[in-house]
Amino acid sequence: MPVCVFEWRYGSPEMRRLFELESWMRRLLEVEVAVVEAMEELGLAPRGVASTVRRAAGEISVGEWRERERQRGHDIAALAELLGEKAGGEAARYVHLGLTSYDVVDTAWALVLRDALTLLLGKVKHVIDKLSRLALEYRDVPVPGRTHGQHASPVTLGFKLANYVYELARRYQAICETAGRVIRAKIGGSVGTLAFWTLLWGAEKALALRDRVAEKLGLKPHTITTQVAPREGFAELACQLATLAGVLERFALEVRELSRPEIGEWLEAPLGRVGSSAMPHKANPVVSERICGLARVARGLTTPALENIALWHERDLTNSSSERVWIPHMMLTLDQMLEDMLELLDKRLRFNLEAARRNLQLTKGHALSEAVVALLVSKGMARHEAHRLVMEISRSAVEKGVSLLDALASDERVSRLVSREELERVLRPEAFIGVAPLLVDEAVREAKRVVEKGCGL
């Protein structure tokens, strides 16, 4: 019976399959077989043993592996024993020869992480593409800008969206860079020195065997390790993924905030689903809220990854148990968040441009006070004096419920420098969006360059 929520609720079937026990065992065996194949290719093992070992690997079941682990108390030792027994004869001599458990485990993690990140980054690319299309569609549409939760100078809807395009492209690039440091073969023996192979075949062949194993698995080898691959790389990857989760959360929070009835500029459409078990009218932003909730899980999962950096000497076992938890759960968490983002962008997200126009008028022009400061500066007034003057007039007018245009036009300190017509021209939202449309174009172009370059996983 399923226990973990990721078994039945969160994460795509493709991502779940990567972390099933059967899949994990096959990855471990893939590494074991690759080592024997590399030995044979380099003339360090007799011809034919690799095919025997590969056949034997295909005969091992999860059930017998778990039973052997129960008897032996060590998962990799149990698997190596089974593989050697099923291979038999001459081939058995070369199974797990010169390896330590984490040569197999860490290299298997590299293979799983490569597949998992390929899935995640593919979805990030789709999110970037969809947001880019929306950003270009709405590049010129003014909407209220908000800082500290208050109306600020206007932006465009496309500009808001393009900021997420930019941030997600940066996350894509950063994860790719981190992946290059983490997704590597760890082949070094009991303490990382390749001493066993060196004693058997000499230093040159030991290093050649390390490199050939990595090559066969489509990986680069770590340059130097202890008994395990450096855990600072795993921690870096965890933090990069949590940062990606934070960007997704920021977008989801925007949806939630702007869908408040008193704002109403964005809407997460319920698509016929129940919003509240008690209140029939509710259309809750449940997908956006799930993204925000899972972002908290992602941040929490960075803690064990960071704690695992400081292992004792050439390693202890404290990282093993926590990685069985945080790695699959981090991947499944991000997978669900990206699935939710795609659902939002494909099916649920709506923009109410009429509400945005209405909200631009809520402050009676006071949100455009910065434009007036710029106008007065253009007439020769010092910036600090213009700021002080407009702030004084605006605050007094807000208390009286007077529009900024009327308040400015009736103040002789302003009217002797600028006409009402000039004030009217700058006190229009579309007149004070700066180069927002051009920045949208630039952000979309840059994101396209990043994703087209790809990741090379």
Give pLDDT tens digits for 93-116: 999 999 999 999 999 999 999 999
Nearby residues of 178 by Cβ (< 8 Å), 6 or more positions away: 233, 236, 237, 240
Mean pLDDT of the region 71-99: 97
Q: pTM (2 decimals)?
A: 0.94
pLDDT at position 361 over 60: yes
Residue 381 has pLDDT above 60, yes or no: yes
pLDDT at 277 over 50: no
Q: Which overall architecture, per CATH, does domain 366-426 show?
A: Orthogonal Bundle (1.10)
CATH architecture of structural domain 100-186+225-361+435-457 = Up-down Bundle (1.20)
What pLDDT, on the 0 to 100 scale, is given for residue 283?
Answer: 73
- Residue 115 has which token pair? 């597949």
Cα end-to-end distance, the chain, whole Å:
35
What's the average model confidence in pLDDT over 148-160? 97
- What local confidence, expressed as pLDDT, does residue 274 receive? 52
* Lowest-confidence pick of 77-81, 201-205, 278-282, 418-422: 278-282
Q: Is the pLDDT of residue 244 over 50?
A: yes
Read off the tokens for 440.
């949208």
Q: What are the tens digits of pLDDT across the range 302-347?
A: 999 999 999 999 999 999 999 999 999 999 999 999 999 999 999 9
pLDDT for the residue 457: 86
CA distance linking residue 15 with residue 13, whole number of Å: 5
Residue 234 pLDDT > 70:
yes
Percentage of the chain beyond pLDDT 70 is: 98
- pLDDT value of position 272: 55
Extents of the domains making up the chain: 1-98, 100-186+225-361+435-457, 366-426
Nearest to 233 by CA among 101, 337, 113, 122: 113
Going by pLDDT thresholds of 50, 70 and 90, the confidence category of residue 74 is very high
What kind and span of H or E run contains 147? strand 142-147
Residue range 1-98, CATH number: 1.10.275.10
CA-nearest of 97, 21, 34 to 64 is: 21
Q: pLDDT higher for 283 or 97?
A: 97
Q: Tell me what the mean pLDDT of segment 290-306 comes to.
A: 98
Exposure pattern of 130-162 as b/e (b: 16+ CB <10 Å)?
A: bbbebbbebbebbbbbbeeeebebbbbbbbbbb
Beta bridge mates, 156: 142
Residue 280 binned pLDDT confidence (cut-offs 50, 70, 90): very low
| pLDDT top residue among 279 and 388 | 388
**Confidence bin at 282 (pLDDT 50/70/90):** low
Q: Smallest Cα–Cα separation from 386: which of 403, 373, 375, 399?
A: 373
Quote the CA–CA distance of 182 and 116 in Å, as a whole number: 13
Mean pLDDT across the chain, nearest whole number? 96
pLDDT band at 224 (very low <50, low <70, confident <90, very high): very high
Beta strand pairing status for 220-221 and 184-185?
A: parallel
Active site amino acids: 148, 276
Rounded Cα–Cα distance for residues 237 and 242 (Å): 9
Report the pLDDT value the prediction gives residue 1, as an integer from 0 to 100. 76
Query: Residue 281 pLDDT > 60, yes or no?
Result: no
> Residue 82 has what pLDDT?
98
What local confidence, expressed as pLDDT, does residue 271 receive? Answer: 73
Does the structure show a pLDDT above 50 at 438?
A: yes
Average pLDDT over residues 254-259: 97
